[in-house]
Amino acid sequence: MIAIGCDHAGVELKKYIISELSKKGFEFEDMGTDGEPCDYPDMAEKVCRKVTEGACERGILICGTGIGMSMAANKIKGIRAALCADSFSTKFTRLHNDANVMCMGARTMGPGLAAELAEIFLTTGFEGGRHQRRIDLITALENK
């Protein structure tokens, strides 16, 4: 299960991603919003709590640029959120950084690219190995 949420700027993109990736077998828990104005930090927290509590494997957050969502998400202990705007960075944030939340900007990319990046994020595993040490260092920073 994938938690997905957005602010009012990302509603249409969120719907598109759910529609396209559901056809490929992905299951989503839609955390909102459905168009009502909201504050992106609140939506980031709702999605990220689903991930940190283990109710959802990963999360997807969408706002106008993706920047606000990524900033808010990374304040939550246990979250490694990445702003994803191209396929290379999206793939490697999973392979090397074990990101568990991806953030995207509804005003910075089209729906086709967004769905493609979401699929890359959801199908790419973590390499572990030497990268795990770095994840452990990030966790240590978080715990200070």
* Residue 96 is a catalytic residue: yes
Of 13, 1, 101, whose CA–CA distance to 63 is shortest? 13
6, 48, 56, 63: the catalytic one is 63
Per DSSP (E only), the strands in the chain are 2-6, 28-30, 58-63, 81-83, 101-105
- 3-state class (DSSP) for residue 9: helix
Handedness of CA 35, 48, 118, 89 (dihedral sign): positive
The reply to whether 63 belongs to the active site is yes
* Nearest partner of 61 among 116, 112, 100, judged by Cα: 100
- Nearest-10 Cα torsion for 52, 41, 47, 94: -70
Residues known to be catalytic: 63, 96
